Amino acid sequence: MAKRRGVVAVLAVTAVAGAGVAAGVFLTRGTPGDPAASSSVPATTSASPLGDETGFEDVSPTPTASVGPDPDDGQPVVTDEPVVVATAEVPVSVTFYGWNPDTQAVEVGGYVTGVVEDGGTCTLTLTKGGKTVTGSTKALPDASTTACGAVTVPGDEVSAGTWRAVLSYSSAGHTGTAEAVDVEVTS
């Protein structure tokens, strides 16, 4: 009789553990066929746009949250051909810009497409009326671009109002300039 209780107890524990594993699979993987099943990120999200509370404009070309391809299902993860620049002129893209009230500075971020190199400099040039001020930072090589990060100009160098901001890049072999953006300084 004791031996039979032991077998029943083992079977009960196995059933509970099996149910837990099955439940865990459904909690982390979802129902088969559900497009959001292979990700813990919701299929749709609704976030406040950058800039509402910070004064920054988000101009990045990619969405902030999405459910992407699943390489386990044989879907390709990367489909775009890399941009390779064969000239000295390189494209520069702005990813964010604005007045940062916490640091009391104008900040502009961006990257250089087509080159991955060390030793370049990203420069932010601000103009308003007849006044021009600049800030610069060392550019850093990234996986497929050269990153500027955030280039800043301190608030004590600018006055309140609208400043025209231009992000540019220069290195021993390349130069480029992004399209100008307007930054509203509220100091």
| pLDDT confidence of residue 184 | 97
DSSP state of 30: -
| pLDDT confidence of residue 62 | 52
CA dist., res. 112 & res. 75, Å (int): 29
| pLDDT confidence of residue 101 | 95
Question: Where do the structural domains in the chain lie, given as residue ranges?
Answer: 1-44, 92-185
Report the pLDDT averaged over residues 139-159. 96
- Domain topology for 92-185: Immunoglobulin-like (2.60.40)
| pLDDT confidence of residue 70 | 67
DSSP state of 82: P
Helix (H, G, I), strand (E, B) or coil at 154: strand
Residues written for the chain: 187
10-53 confidence digits (pLDDT tens): 444 444 444 444 444 333 344 445 444 444 444 444 444 444 55
Short-list 44, 147, 155, CA closest to 98: 155
Q: Work out the pLDDT band at 145, boundaries 50, 70, 90.
A: very high
| pLDDT confidence of residue 73 | 74
**Could you tell me the pTM of the whole model?**
0.59
Number of H helices, E strands in the chain: 1, 10
85-125 confidence digits (pLDDT tens): 888 999 999 999 999 999 999 999 999 999 999 999 999 99
Q: Cβ atoms within 10 A of the Cβ of 97, count?
A: 25
